[in-house]
Structure 1
Amino acid sequence: MNKRTALLSAVIASALSLSGQVTFINEAHAVLKITRPSQGQLGNVQINPYGYAPLTAVIYLKQQQPKDMIVTVLGKGDDGVPISYPVGEQMMRTHDGVPVFGLYGDHLNLVELSYTLDGKPVTETYKIHTQPVVGPSVEGQVHSYPQVTPVAVDSEFQDRLYWVNHLPHNSNDPLLIRAGGGAFEWDRWAINFITDTQGEVRWFLDHNKMHDINVTQKRGVIMGVHQTDNGDIIFGQGQRYYRMDLLGRMIIERDLPAGFIDFSHDLQEMPNGNYLIRAAKQNYVRPDGQVVDTVRDHILEVDPHGQVVDVWDLNTILDPMRDALLIALDAKAVCLNVDDNAEGINIEPDAPFGDNAGVGTGRNWAHVNSVDYDASDDSIVISPRHQATAIKIGRDKEVKWILGPSEGWNDDLAKKLLTPVDKRGKKLNCSPQGKCENTDFDFGYSQHTSYVVPEKGTVVTFDNGDGRYHEQPAFAESKYSRGVEYKIDEKKMTVKQVWEYGKDRGYEFYSPITSITQYQADKDSMMVYFASAELFSKATTKPKLVELGYGSQDVKVELHIESTTPRQPSYRTTVIRPNKAFQK
């Protein structure tokens, strides 16, 4: 070792004052190897190992092979909710360590590991301190992050974790607008976090990693969040769709297939591993020869490698000129286009093309906000907000049934309308606008998330309630929203309503846009998220999340969420199950 190298060694060791060692490769290179003492029998801890999820960590294996691993992130304080899950050997190999999920922000977390090593049982505790939870800063904030308040939590549901897909506005929206139609300018910051039943944030997605208004492929709105059967998370944003695991390891970050644009609202993983993606078509040639970018009216089936398997073009399957519901909508709240100054709604065929509620290809005539797969007959079920409660379409692109009021359908599509019946199967007397006499039956209006429930043989939807009976009521405060479940008899072409929740909660729970109803098989329950409740209040928007025992009004969980500003809805929630993600 020459004098220069010796001096370098002394300077580094003195400056860092760490218990480490300096290893010299040769006289020209020095490598400082810091050896920190491990907190347990495994290796050191890396927080946020993949850069996307700051409240996660990996405890490295240090080439050891623990078995029967159980991770428990202890709850904070007396009422804190512990998060516990098994970790399989495949997951430990994937991360070269033990995945830690569910940490609190700005907290010294205690993480208990229970496992066997060389045949001997081990229980040890690791301490992991995290940085604060951080969200985007926007004009008018009264909180730095959405506030979650538990109202009711049944002990059986205490371990619930909910991913909240929240939608603050983007203060920089005017910086980049694209001419030419479509929905490209539809853009918002992303606040995506997982809350426990005490209202504590236990995971969040770093919005700065996901969103950049100045980069085409990072514009858009994160939507369509689902946890797949193997525990991964899928979602889309603008011109891309994604798959990641709960540690934030990005598995797929892929552009939409060529010729398709403007993802929003929903995508689903099919049983064969393909994806159903709600998108739009670029440079679409209308029957009159005009070339437009369409808006929320195409469904793609894409295989795991990004190859397009099939396409449902709703412009040729449905009727883009039907306006029965469109003319009745409140123009102040057409999905996320919330505009206090809007008066009336322009559905003229010669209105400007683009993300405008109106008839004709190239405008927002369909507004499909969910897509689901029915494996029983290889069909899709869609929720076209501006057309009907739900529509089922086969692989052959033929409509199988339409759940919605009868007004305005052309002759071919009118034949596919389901007939409402009461609980005894007797036909109900309903007006063309959907008002049925002497019954609780009601259609969904401007609804979201029409999903198949194969376990029950039903379809559930969130009935937002705007434009009910194709009109606006005399008093806005008489509006309400509901979670609804329908039983459909495809042979008889009938439908009956078997459950609803929310009507009695009134205008406080009324959510004109967004929201979700979803069955939860693990606890035989129904989750209903009133994601834009109090949207028109001068104070902050206050979404409400409710989970109920199946088929009942028995509230198992009720959480109230206060947004950071007025006019700031959530989009959806979905239940997150760590066991699915890590037990492999």
Structure 2
Amino acid sequence: MKGLKLSVLALAISTPLMLSAASFPPAPAAGDLGRIVHNPYGNAPLSAVIETANKNVSDVKVTVKGKGRKGLDISYDVGPKSLLTHDGIPVVGMYADFRNTVEVSYKLDGKATRETYTIQTPAISDIAIDNRSLSNLQTVDVKTVAPGFEDRLYMVNSFSYNPNGSDLAWRDNTGAANFDLAPNTYIIDTQGEYRWWLDQAAMYDVDGRDIDKRGALMGIRPTERGSYTFVQGQKLFEMDLTGRMARDERLPRGYQDASHEAVEMPNGDVLVRAAKRNYLRPDGTIVHTVRDHILQIDPKGQLVDVWDLNTILDPMRDNVLISLDAGAVCMNVDAEQEGQTVKVEPDAPYGDIAGVGTGRNWAHVNSIAYDEKDDSIILSSRHQSAVIKIGRNKEVTWIIAARAGWNDELASKVLQPVNSKGKKIKCTENGQCEDNFDFTWTQHTAWITPKGTITVLDNGDGRHMEQPAMPNMKYTRFVEYKVNEKKGTVEQVWEYGKDRGYEWYSPITSVTEYRPETDTMFGFGGSIEIFMPGQGTRGKINEIDYKTKEVKVEIDVFNTKPHTPHYRSIIVEPNKMFSE
């Protein structure tokens, strides 16, 4: 008997176990439709898809119910193309670590029906927690939400420093490969609750072995399809809020180090701010450039056009650079250098440093807007404190900036400030102007409004090309300009923030945008109190009534680490997420 038992055991080990398909039945349907698939694409853990299981489903509306008595519902329609693309009903806007109630109304074979689903979500956490961290997630403090703004959703594009540090560098230490931060990208509601989260590990290699998953995830902009374009290091992405990647591709050969901006054009091409690899300078030196090229990339990943700012602008103009606060240059924050000016050396090493000449960070373009009416682009160049319009012919159309330092050709493109009656406003070469007009300084997001005006986040560092006697004399503004190209003039038509002073000051990053649906100026100061020890940098979300300048929304988010900036915030519109 003992030998028989042994032989049977040996047979069981050596013979594959054969089971019928019926032994592993599919997961049961959650309702009249199919299964619920959590995080269907592995990128967004607070998303799901309710499979339609080949059934004839149409006219879909989803409502994710708010948590508790005061929780906020998120509702949206799902169009036929989205149903086909996801093979089901996309569900986004759920709370983390919670049994969410999701109501779905739809027609099944033409008959209206309604179901309620319960969907459990996992907890979320920051993969870059280290000994500097102050909290697990970025904390939220809701200050003001006026009636009528309760249903607003805000995506925050933020960061957490990698505890391993940036260990990437190009050969000869040039380019911006060491511009590298772990992403913190999420959506909050006006209750301060997280309602969406981009999985960090899916996008970022904290161990540093994969260059395609390093860099700084930045420049998130919505498309007309409800998805979002963005860049991170060496790649361009397009993703919807289920986490589905419509694009995940390397930059075209010869270009690298994309950050700050990726915006879709009306024809479906994407404008990306990147840099050139192996660039031949006029002196014969070959370098990798830094933040000074605009790429137009079509939906197939082909390079359509390039704007090389080294040949369009003047990479030797240093008037702004030498007035910058050395304590905060882009994401490089050093509280001990607050108030000291940047030292610019013409023979400094090449690489991601504030300096003049091709191969250094002389331009620092941080936003792109496309002007349909004449097929041109409008750029914000932080290190020139200039908003610049450039045509398809690669010639400068106009410049909004102080006059100091421009060469003769570019000086002729600088716009003349005027008041509301068209009368010229006197300004010094360094941009000190009469009649309450001011230029923007180290600004971000020079974007075109539906009115044809231009809104800009005027950070305010190096204002009038100097550091003030005391740091608390600095301030940041939301500002709007009207340009008259025929007359070569610029009028300041709206501003907000000057009276809020240093407590509202954001030396780097940040965004402003006019919102026609609420007639508000939306903005986000991404680096408030960045020099304060022992606390996370404050990011302040605001919506300001355009007519009265009353604060309609004010929400603070705090970074998990001291001296670590946020980048931008944008408004999320649920009715556009899956409307197609």
Same fold per TM (> 0.5)?
yes
Matched, 1:57 2:53: no
1:419 to 2:416 alignment: yes
Superposition deviation, residue 35 in structure 1: 4.5
Residue in 2 that maps onto 1:15: none
Counterpart of 2:373 in structure 1 is: 376
With normalisation by structure 2, the TM-score equals 0.94
Is 2:163 the counterpart of 1:171? yes
Give the C-alpha shift of residue 63 in structure 1: 2.1
Is 1:102 matched with 2:93? yes
Q: Residue 59 of structure 1 aligns to which amino acid in structure 2?
A: I
Could you tell me which of 5, 23, 30 is aligned with 2:20? 30
Query: Which whole-Å CA distance do the structure 2 matches of 1:256 and 1:339 have between them?
Result: 31
Matches within 5 A, 1:425-464: 425-437=422-434, 439-453=435-449, 455-464=450-459
Deviation track 1:91-115 (CA, whole Å, cap 9, x = no partner) reads 1111111110100001110000112
- Aligned structure 1 segments of 4 or more residues deviating by more than 4 angstroms: none
**SS of corresponding position for 1:543:** strand
Does the 8 A contact of 1:299 with 1:313 survive in 2?
yes
| Aligned with 2:215 (options 210, 217, 220) | 220
Q: Is the 8 A contact 1:540 1:565 kept in 2?
A: yes
Aligned match of 1:184 in 154, 177, 186?
177
Give unpaired runs (5+ residues) of structure 1: 1-6, 12-25
Contact preservation (8 Å) 1:55, 1:130: yes
Cα distance in 2, alignment partners of residues 138 and 569 from structure 1: 17
Amino acid paired to 1:471? E
1:306-317 aligned within 5 A: 306-317=301-312
What corresponds to 1:356 in structure 2?
353
2:393 matches 1:402: no
Whether 2:505 is the aligned partner of 1:514: answer no
**Contact 2:477 2:495 (C-alpha < 8 Å) held by counterparts:** yes
**What's 2:576 paired with?**
580
Match of 2:287 in 1: 292
Among 98, 102, 106, the alignment partner of 1:115 is 106
User: For the Cα contact (< 8 Å) 1:235–1:241, is it kept in 2?
Assistant: yes
Distance 1:87 1:547 in 2: 28
- Cα deviation code 1:241-279 (max 9, x no counterpart): 101111001111110111111101101100111111100
- Tell me the SS of whatever aligns to 1:570: coil
Deviation at 1:552, TM superposition (A): 4.0
Partner of 1:204: 197
Q: For the structure 1 residues 174 and 279, does the alpha-carbon distance in structure 2 shift closer, same or farther, using more than 3 Å as the test?
A: closer
* C-alpha displacement of 1:505: 1.5
Question: Which of the numbers 541, 547, 552 marks the counterpart of 1:545?
Answer: 541
2: CA distance between counterparts of 1:551 and 1:262? 41
* Counterpart AA for 1:201: Y
Q: What are the Cα deviations for residues 408-452 of structure 1, in whole angstroms up to 9, with x where unaligned?
A: 111110000000111221111111111112x22111100111111
Q: Is 1:83 matched up with 2:74?
A: yes
Distance in 2, matches of 1:166 and 1:345, equals: 25
**Pick aligned residue for 1:154 from 146, 158, 172:** 146
CA distance in 1, matches of 2:263, 2:166: 32
What code does the residue aligned with 1:480 have? Y
Question: Partners in 2 of 1:347 and 1:278 — Cα distance?
Answer: 24
> Which whole-Å CA distance do the structure 1 matches of 2:343 and 2:181 have between them?
24
Corresponding position: 1:142 with 2:134: yes
Per-residue CA deviations over 1:44-98 (Å, capped at 9, x if unaligned) read 2111010000000011112212221110000001111100001112211111111
Question: Structure 1 residues 29-38 or 539-548, which shifts more?
Answer: 29-38
Aligned to 1:531: 526
The one-letter code matched in structure 1 to 2:355 is G
Distance 2:74 2:164 in 1: 38
How many pairs were matched up? Answer: 560
- Please, which moves more after superposition, 517-526 or 101-110? 517-526
Superposed, 1:458-537 pairs within 5 Å as 458-537=453-532
- Structure 1 distance, partners of 2:236, 2:255, is 12
SS in 2 for 1:504: helix
Which residue of structure 1 aligns with residue 186 of structure 2? Answer: 193
Task: Give 1:278's match in structure 2, choosing from 273, 280, 290.
Answer: 273
Aligned-partner residue type, residue 131 of structure 2: E
Give the Cα separation in 2 of the matches to 1:255 and 1:196.
Answer: 33
Q: CA deviation at 1:323?
A: 0.6
In 1: Cα distance, 2:484 partner to 2:223 partner: 29
Return the alpha-carbon distance in structure 2 between the equivalents of residues 168 and 346 of structure 1: 28
Alpha-carbon distance between aligned partners in 1 of 2:140 and 2:112, rounded to the nearest angstrom: 39
2:215 counterpart of 1:240: no
Counterpart-to-counterpart distance in 1, 2:555 and 2:86: 34
Secondary structure, in 3 states, of the residue corresponding to 2:518? Answer: coil
Identical amino acids, percent of aligned pairs: 51
Query: TM-score scaled to structure 1, two decimals?
Result: 0.93
Q: What SS does the corresponding residue of 1:565 show, helix, strand or coil?
A: strand
With over 3 angstroms needed to count, the CA separation of the structure-2 counterparts of 1:551 and 1:316, relative to structure 1, is: farther
Task: Give the match's secondary structure for 1:91.
Answer: helix
What secondary structure sits across from 1:505 in the alignment?
helix
1:66 aligns with 2:47: no
Q: Give the counterpart letter for 2:73 in structure 1.
A: P
Q: What code does the residue aligned with 2:203 have?
A: M
Q: Which amino acid aligns with 1:366?
A: A
**Structure 1 residue 227 displacement after superposition:** 1.1
- How many Å separate the matches in 2 of 1:241 and 1:175? 22
Give the match's secondary structure for 2:271: strand
1:36 Cα deviation after fit:
4.4
- In structure 2, the gaps of 5 or more residues are 1-7
Equivalent-residue separation in structure 1 for 2:299 and 2:167 (angstroms) = 35
Asked if 2 retains the 8 angstrom alpha-carbon contact of 1:463 and 1:483, the reply is yes
Q: Deviations over 1:483-511 (max 9, x none)?
A: 11001111111111111111122111100
Does the CA-based 8 Å contact 1:464-1:482 persist in structure 2? yes
Q: Which amino acid aligns with 2:342?
A: I
- Residue type of the partner of 1:239? Q
Q: Following the alignment from structure 2 to structure 1, what is the Cα–Cα distance between the partners of residues 241 and 394?
A: 36
In structure 1, what is the Cα distance between the partners aligned to 2:548 and 2:218?
A: 29
| One-letter identity of the residue aligned with 2:388 | I
Moved more, 79-88 or 336-345: 336-345
Other structure's SS at 2:410 match: helix
Tell me the amino acid that sits aligned with residue 191 of structure 2: Q
Partner SS state of residue 542, structure 1:
strand
